[in-house]
C-alpha cells in the first residue's frame, strides 16, 4: 500500500481524499496556491507545499511545481481529484515517468475517452448505443447541413474538447445552421483551445443518467448502479440522486451492461462514470465517459455503502475487485451548495463567510471545506460544499433534505440554498417528473 499520497487539488475534494487516507493510515501531502493558504486541506494534511500564485495555470495546473512537491515530500502516489489535472493524460504519464502512481487510469485510457469524437467512435465499435449523428469532426457548414437533414432537426453542435456544459449550440432548423456553426467553432476555440466540433441529434426532454463503474488492473469490472443528474442549469448539474426515479430494473440491467461494455472496450482501470441520455421511451445513448472521481460520487457511496476514494486507492495499489454489480439499498440526494445568487442569474458571489451553521442529524452528510471566517476566493469554482441526505425512500430523503437545508446558515455570501429549498417543495420534482429541461420552466419565488 502507498505510504504517502499527494493530493493535486483543493477545496472539498482535497479534504475528501485526506479523510479516507487518514482512515487507511496513509500520510498526505496537500498542495496549495497562495490564495488557499488558509484552507482546511492545508491544515488537515500531514504536510503542505505551496505551488504557486492563485490562478489555476500557476498552481493546480502547474505540473512542474506539483511534481517538485511530490519529489521533496517523497510521495509515492498522486490523487488528482476532479477538474484541474484529473483527466490530463500528460500528467498521468509524467507521474508514471517519475515512478509515482497516478491514482486513476493510464494515459492511453484517458486519451481514448478524452475527446468526445474519439470516445464516440470507440463506443460505436464496442457496440454501445450512441446519440445518432455524423461520424467524426465536422469539416464545413455544408456537411453539417447535410448530416442534419439526414438525421432530422433539432440537432446539437458540440465541442469535441467540451466540458462543464460549455460549447454546445442547439439548432432547430437549417436557417440557423450557419450562424450556430460559426459561433460554436469560435466558442470551442476560445474555451478549449480546440475548435473541433461535431453534430448529433438533439434528444428532446431527456434524462441524464450515469452509471458508476469500477475496474481493476486485471480486467474485472463492476457497476454500482446509476445517478440521475437531470436537474441542470445551462447543462450544469445542481442536484443528483440515486436511484433515479425514472429507473426500472430492466433499464438498469441494460444500462449497467452497456456501461461495463464501454469500460471493457478500453480495459478501464480505476473508478469512472459512463454518462447516458435516456429518452422518454427509455432508449439510452452514450454521451461521454468521465475517467475520474466525480463531484456527485457521494450519492453512490450512500446507497451502496462503498467508499469510492478508498476503492480508487485500493485499485491503484493492485487489488482485485469482484466483478459483481451493486443495487442501491437506500435513496440518496445531493444538493450542490454554491456561492451563487439564485435571484441574480446564479451570478458567483465570492467573499468572506461571516456566519456558518452546518446541518446534522440522522441521514445528513456535508462534504465541505469552509468554516466561519473562510474567504471563498474568486479564482476557482464557486462550490461551498455538498449536502447529501440518505433515507429508505425518496420521499424521506427529500424531507430530510428540506429539513437540513432549513438548518444550513451561511452568511456573508449568497448561496444556492433558497433555490434548493424551493425545489424540494416542488410537486413535479417530488413526484419524480423531470427531465434536463425542468429548470427552464422553474420560477424562483
Residue placing its CB nearer to ligand ADP in the complex, 78 or 277: 277
Among 202, 268, 346, 408, which residue sits at the site for ligand ADP (rule: CB under 6 A)? 202
Q: How far is the CB of 142 from ligand ADP (least distance, A)?
A: 21
Does position 114 interact with ligand ADP (CB under 6 A)? The reply is no
20 near 313, Cβ under 8 Å? yes
Residue placing its CB nearer to ligand ADP in the complex, 114 or 206: 206
Q: Calculate the CA dihedral of residues 7, 308, 212, 233 and round it to 10 degrees.
A: -60
Tracing cell 496556491 back to the chain, one arrives at: 33
CA-CA distance, 160 to 144, in Å (whole number)? 15
Does position 203 interact with ligand ADP (CB under 6 A)? The reply is yes
CA-CA distance, 259 to 364, in Å (whole number)? 30
Q: How far is the CB of 116 from ligand ADP (least distance, A)?
A: 7
Does position 210 interact with ligand ADP (CB under 6 A)? The reply is no
Does position 65 interact with ligand ADP (CB under 6 A)? The reply is no
Among 127, 152, 165, 373, which residue sits at the site for ligand ADP (rule: CB under 6 A)? 165
Does position 11 interact with ligand ADP (CB under 6 A)? The reply is no
Does position 235 interact with ligand ADP (CB under 6 A)? The reply is yes
Residue placing its CB nearer to ligand ADP in the complex, 120 or 252: 120
- Binding segment for ligand ADP (CB under 6 A), chosen from 16-24, 157-165, 215-223, 243-251, is 157-165
Q: Which of 19, 18, 6 is nearest to 66 (CA)?
A: 6
Does position 163 interact with ligand ADP (CB under 6 A)? The reply is yes
> What DSSP assignment string belongs to 260-296?
HHHHHHTT--EEEEEEEEE-TTS-EEEEEEE-S--TT
259-288: contacts with ligand ADP (CB under 6 A): 275, 277, 287-288
Residue placing its CB nearer to ligand ADP in the complex, 6 or 271: 271
State the catalytic residue, choosing from 169, 233, 292, 365: 292
CA dihedral sign of residues 61, 67, 73, 76: positive
Continuous segment of H or E residues that includes residue 40: helix 40-44
Whether 292 is catalytic is yes
Among 112, 212, 294, 436, which residue sits at the site for ligand ADP (rule: CB under 6 A)? 436
Q: Which of 215, 186, 214, 181 is nearest to 199 (CA)?
A: 181
CA-CA distance, 54 to 35, in Å (whole number)? 5
Does position 115 interact with ligand ADP (CB under 6 A)? The reply is no
- CB-side exposure of 9: number of CA atoms within 13 Å? 26
Q: How far is the CB of 424 from ligand ADP (least distance, A)?
A: 21
- Binding segment for ligand ADP (CB under 6 A), chosen from 49-57, 134-142, 164-172, 291-299, is 164-172
Among 36, 115, 195, 200, which residue sits at the site for ligand ADP (rule: CB under 6 A)? 200
- Binding segment for ligand ADP (CB under 6 A), chosen from 96-104, 161-169, 255-263, 304-312, is 161-169
- Binding segment for ligand ADP (CB under 6 A), chosen from 41-49, 201-209, 358-366, 377-385, is 201-209
The residues near 316 (Cβ < 8 Å, ≥ 6 apart) are 2, 77, 101, 102, 103, 104, 270
CA-CA distance, 100 to 426, in Å (whole number)? 49
CA-CA distance, 302 to 305, in Å (whole number)? 5
The residues near 166 (Cβ < 8 Å, ≥ 6 apart) are 159, 187, 191, 235
Does position 152 interact with ligand ADP (CB under 6 A)? The reply is no
User: How do strand 351-352 and strand 331-338 relate by DSSP bridges?
Assistant: unpaired
Residue placing its CB nearer to ligand ADP in the complex, 162 or 385: 162
CA-CA distance, 331 to 347, in Å (whole number)? 31
- Binding segment for ligand ADP (CB under 6 A), chosen from 91-99, 199-207, 252-260, 336-344, is 199-207
Does position 187 interact with ligand ADP (CB under 6 A)? The reply is no
- Binding segment for ligand ADP (CB under 6 A), chosen from 5-13, 52-60, 156-164, 339-347, is 156-164
CA-CA distance, 174 to 151, in Å (whole number)? 12
Tracing cell 487489488 back to the chain, one arrives at: 319
Q: How far is the CB of 394 from ligand ADP (least distance, A)?
A: 21
Does position 127 interact with ligand ADP (CB under 6 A)? The reply is no
Residue placing its CB nearer to ligand ADP in the complex, 187 or 325: 187
In angstroms, the Cα distances linking 28 to 183, 302, 313, 419 are: 45, 25, 13, 36
Q: How far is the CB of 221 from ligand ADP (least distance, A)?
A: 21
Q: Which residues are catalytic?
A: 292
Q: Which residues in this chain contact ligand ADP in the complex, by CB under 6 A?
A: 131, 156, 162-166, 200-203, 206, 208, 232, 235, 275, 277, 287-288, 436
Amino acid at each position: 500500500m502507498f505510504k504517502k499520497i499527494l493530493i493535486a487539488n483543493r477545496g472539498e475534494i482535497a479534504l475528501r481524499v485526506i479523510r479516507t487516507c487518514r482512515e487507511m493510515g496513509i500520510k498526505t501531502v496537500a498542495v496549495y496556491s497562495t490564495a488557499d493558504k488558509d484552507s482546511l486541506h492545508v491544515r488537515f494534511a500531514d504536510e503542505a507545499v505551496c505551488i504557486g500564485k492563485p490562478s489555476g495555470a500557476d498552481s493546480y495546473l502547474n505540473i512542474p511545481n506539483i511534481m517538485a512537491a511530490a519529489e521533496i515530500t517523497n510521495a509515492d502516489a498522486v490523487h488528482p481529484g476532479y477538474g484541474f489535472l484529473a483527466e490530463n493524460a500528460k500528467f498521468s504519464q509524467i507521474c508514471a515517468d517519475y515512478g509515482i502512481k497516478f491514482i486513476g487510469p493510464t494515459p492511453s485510457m484517458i486519451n481514448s475517452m478524452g475527446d468526445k469524437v474519439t470516445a464516440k467512435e470507440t463506443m460505436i465499435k464496442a457496440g454501445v448505443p450512441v446519440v445518432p449523428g455524423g461520424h467524426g469532426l465536422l469539416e464545413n457548414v455544408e456537411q453539417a447541413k447535410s448530416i442534419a437533414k439526414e438525421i432530422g432537426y433539432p440537432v446539437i453542435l458540440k465541442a469535441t474538447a467540451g466540458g462543464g456544459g460549455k460549447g454546445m449550440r442547439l439548432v432547430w432548423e437549417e436557417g440557423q445552421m450557419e450562424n450556430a456553426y460559426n459561433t460554436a467553432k469560435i466558442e470551442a476555440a476560445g474555451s478549449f483551445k480546440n475548435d473541433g466540433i461535431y453534430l448529433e441529434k438533439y434528444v428532446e426532454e431527456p434524462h441524464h443518467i450515469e452509471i458508476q463503474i469500477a475496474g481493476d488492473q486485471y480486467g474485472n469490472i463492476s457497476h454500482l448502479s446509476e445517478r440521475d443528474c437531470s436537474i441542470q442549469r445551462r447543462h450544469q448539474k445542481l442536484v443528483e440522486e440515486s436511484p433515479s426515479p425514472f429507473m426500472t430494473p430492466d433499464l438498469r440491467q441494460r444500462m449497467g451492461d452497456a456501461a461495463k461494455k464501454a469500460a471493457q472496450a478500453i480495459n478501464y482501470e480505476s473508478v469512472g462514470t459512463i454518462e447516458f441520455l435516456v429518452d422518454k421511451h427509455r432508449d439510452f445513448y452514450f454521451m461521454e465517459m468521465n475517467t475520474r472521481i466525480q463531484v456527485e460520487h457521494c450519492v453512490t457511496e450512500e446507497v451502496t455503502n462503498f467508499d469510492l476514494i478508498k476503492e480508487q486507492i485500493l485499485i491503484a495499489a493492485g487489488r482485485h475487485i469482484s466483478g459483481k454489480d451493486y443495487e442501491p439499498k437506500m435513496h440518496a440526494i445531493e444538493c450542490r451548495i454554491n456561492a451563487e445568487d439564485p435571484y441574480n442569474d446564479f451570478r458567483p458571489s465570492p467573499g468572506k463567510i461571516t456566519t456558518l451553521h452546518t446541518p446534522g442529524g440522522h441521514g445528513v452528510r456535508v462534504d465541505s471545506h469552509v468554516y466561519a471566517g473562510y474567504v471563498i476566493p474568486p479564482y476557482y469554482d464557486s462550490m461551498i460544499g455538498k449536502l447529501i441526505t440518505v433515507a429508505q425512500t425518496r420521499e424521506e430523503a427529500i424531507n430530510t433534505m428540506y429539513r437540513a437545508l432549513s438548518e444550513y446558515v451561511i452568511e456573508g455570501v449568497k448561496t444556492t440554498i433558497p433555490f434548493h429549498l424551493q425545489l424540494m417543495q416542488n410537486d413535479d420534482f417530488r413526484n419524480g417528473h423531470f427531465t434536463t429541461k425542468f429548470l427552464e420552466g422553474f420560477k424562483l419565488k
